[in-house]
Structure 1
């Protein structure tokens, strides 16, 4: 087992939880965080939330749940190779998509536009809101009462959110993030821990890999198309050389697992070089380096940009995907407007919060919490039930069960 690096997060030196708890006899604080995330309601709902395709289009496409598990696997591999804390990296990876709306990024775009007058919406900030407030299972506190390090990683695994002067780097901060940070300072002006950076790059590795898989399965492009691209082209060529005449599915899998390996090995090599050069003395030293320490090499990053552009054109903006995006955007807009106009239509457990909000912005936040928490299937079913629309309109998306 790799000796922990001096810059690895030490669970015994954690900044603790907002609500102090006794240390577990058998599990470290970061292990408890991971377990609470796995047992949360929001994590279970990821089973029926999509990545690119509507969840009901086929059993083989990735959902937010399968994606999160894949990200966690990559994060554990990377963090173990680098001597980091695997439990913290895994916890952040498992939680990173908890705040996503139904219908993937399409739903988030719709919700962000709807919430712009009311403090904004961002899935990372919403994930923080879920684990600090919306999960209500424990007697002593709302949320999951995760450690500071896990919350920091959820909030800013992609980098600092404000400058040293406190001014937001990319527009106004979402209200959900501002609200929590006022209770517990998450150091929004620094980079996150090395473990959080690992979770972020693991997300990139996982979606680059599985979007290629899902795009091929959907028929939006072919293996021959991928032969023309960097990384994927050499991978298929290598498989053809070693296994001439291999059947289609095995050939695809063998090639894409090589693509996966190229990304993982690149990240490890680059991180080792950068960490050796920087020589951070502890976990906080990583936060204050002023740059992302866990990243792809410049060459691989350029090649991945070519692949992402290909996927954008052939997959994310494919005609049937665009048509689907338009329809599900309408679903999110309709549900939001419906509950804003008549909060009495909210379920009983949400009505109390809606009645006591006192202003339109607070009501909008309650409605956003409820709609964002819906699964694809439930959102489509509620749209048909509450608005009297013909359920057959969405038959190509809805399956029984």
Structure 2
């Protein structure tokens, strides 16, 4: 018996009825031969980890654009925290951890430099708008491997596409697998809490600033809040399944508390006055780099010039800009616009 068969047999024995079994995958856009050891979801996870876009996450900002500290989150460390939280929830429920891990590791590959400020800029400039979850799919299907894409399974792509938003109330935005739904909640659990942690470290937020009623429900410390939310997600989802409802969710009170905590962070930190000046600087840089390449298509890498020919200038330049790390974007801005010493 092949090792892959043993792994898939173990999935049938250990996972709950509503879990996504790798042997039942809807497959890939391009059919591939099965491997002896790895299941399709294991292959997808490994392809994402070894991709260039995954490695670039280490230099993409989560919230704070430029820091001198080593302990502030980046888009990469956020991704790893989402993966850890979602695998814990998935294991507690009895779901496919390989599928969960693949979705979690790939969910933010389409994020732009300079946190959500970059997404706002490209959303203004690209006809039809720009969303990082949709860009993640473009990265995985059309941009990785010099335009060949990674040819991932439908379940992984669906979970990545539908990780945005705050609830599963709309079936249109709900992942087709419970594993994908787990990642959606884990993303919010991770970023709301680790952004609080980073904000306190930066001296921009104090624990006493957080509404007391939310602290009383979710917990005072970072670990307490994560534990409350993870436990609630596991037990509430198991309760849903016992009732015949195949849906991942938080309980009403805990879900409301997390939503209010997220709202507080948007008002105080994400869109607050504290970081307004740095947000505007980041947008200025991106606007000008975008404008430059709209006028100098010939200077972009070959893959993006091909996209310009097939899908237009705005799409090609957007794909190029969206893939940049914060540091690379700043290097290009300085190269393009900052005067150099030519006489010594």
Q: Same fold (TM over 0.5)?
A: yes
What is the alpha-carbon root mean square deviation over aligned residues?
2.4
Decide which moves more: 216-225 or 199-208.
216-225
Q: Specify which of 330, 337, 340 is matched with residue 380 of structure 1.
A: 330
Aligned partners of 2:218 and 2:229 also within 8 Å: no
- Deviation by residue 1:90-134 (Cα, 9 ceiling, x = unmatched): 11111110000001111001100100x2x3211111100010110
Give the distance between the partners of 1:15 and 1:135, measured in 2 at CA. 22
Q: Which residue of 2 aligns with 1:166?
A: none
Separation in 2, partners of 1:329, 1:257: 34
The equivalent residue for 2:6 is none
Inter-partner Cα distance in structure 1 for 2:173 and 2:329: 36
| Alignment correspondent of 2:129 | 120
Structural mapping, 1:285-364, within 5 Å = 286=246, 293-348=247-302, 350-354=304-308, 356-357=309-310, 362-364=312-314
| TM superposition outliers: structure 1 runs of 4+ over 4 Å | 187-191
Ranked by relative contact order (alpha carbons within 8 Å, sequence separation 6 or more), the top structure is 1
Please report how far the alpha carbon of residue 350 of structure 1 lies from its aligned counterpart in structure 2 after TM superposition. 3.5
Question: Which of 133, 144, 151 is matched with 1:145 structurally?
Answer: 151
CA-CA distance at 1:269 after TM superposition: 1.4
Give the structure-1-normalised TM-score: 0.76
Contact 2:52 2:144 in 1 (8 A): yes
Correspondences of 1:86-125 after superposition (within 5 Å): 86-115=97-126, 117=127, 119-125=128-134
Structure 1 residue 344: Cα displacement: 2.0
Kept in 1, the 8 Å contact 2:193–2:226? The answer is: yes
Aligned residue in 1 for 2:230: 264
Can you list the C-alpha shifts for 1:156-184, whole angstroms capped at 9, x where unaligned?
2358xxxxxxxxx9xxxxxxxxxxxxxxx
Tell me if structure 1 keeps the 8 A contact 2:192–2:265. no
- CA shift, 1:57, in A, is 4.4
How far the C-alpha of 1:389 sits from its partner, in A, is 6.0
- Cα deviation 1:52-83 (Å, max 9, x = unaligned): 11144432110110000110111111111111
| Residue pair 2:19, 2:95 contacting (<8 A) in 1 also | yes
* Deviation string, structure 1 residues 343-374 (Cα, Å, up to 9, x no partner): 123235544544x34xxx61211100000000
State the alpha-carbon separation in 2 of the partners of residues 87 and 63 from structure 1.
Answer: 23
Report the counterpart of residue 187 of structure 2 in structure 1. 203
Deviation at 1:390, TM superposition (A): 8.5
For structure 1, the 5+ residue unaligned runs are 160-168, 170-186, 237-254, 280-285, 287-292, 392-401
Cα separation, 2, equivalents of 1:36 and 1:97: 15
Shift of 1:330: 1.1
- State whether structure 2 residue 2 is matched by structure 1 residue 36: no
Task: Give the secondary structure class of the aligned counterpart of 1:143.
Answer: coil
Does structure 1 retain, via aligned residues, the 8 Å contact 2:159–2:175?
A: no
Deviation, 1:388, is 2.6
Q: Which of 119, 122, 132 does residue 141 from structure 2 map onto?
A: 132
For the residue of structure 1 that corresponds to 2:81, the secondary structure is: helix
User: Using the alignment, how far apart are the partners of 2:20 and 2:340 within structure 1?
Assistant: 53
**Is the CA contact 1:8–1:195 (under 8 Å) kept in the aligned structure 2?**
yes
In structure 2, the gaps of 5 or more residues are 1-9
Cα displacement string for residues 229-286 of structure 1 (whole angstroms, at most 9, x for unaligned residues): 52368734xxxxxxxxxxxxxxxxxx2101110010111111011111125xxxxxx4
2:177: which partner in 1? 193
CA distance in 2, matches of 1:264, 1:66: 19
Quote the Cα distance in structure 2 between the aligned partners of 1:55 and 1:66: 15
**Matching residue of 1:218:** 202
Asked if the contact 2:96–2:179 (Cα under 8 Å) also holds between the matched residues in 1, the reply is yes
Distance in 2 (CA, whole Å) between partners of 1:80 and 1:66 is 21
TM-score (norm 2): 0.88
Contact 1:16-1:148 at 8 Å conserved across structures: yes
Q: 1:11 aligns to what?
A: 22
The aligned length equals 326
| 8 Å Cα contact 1:55-1:61 kept in structure 2 | no
SS in 2 for 1:87: helix
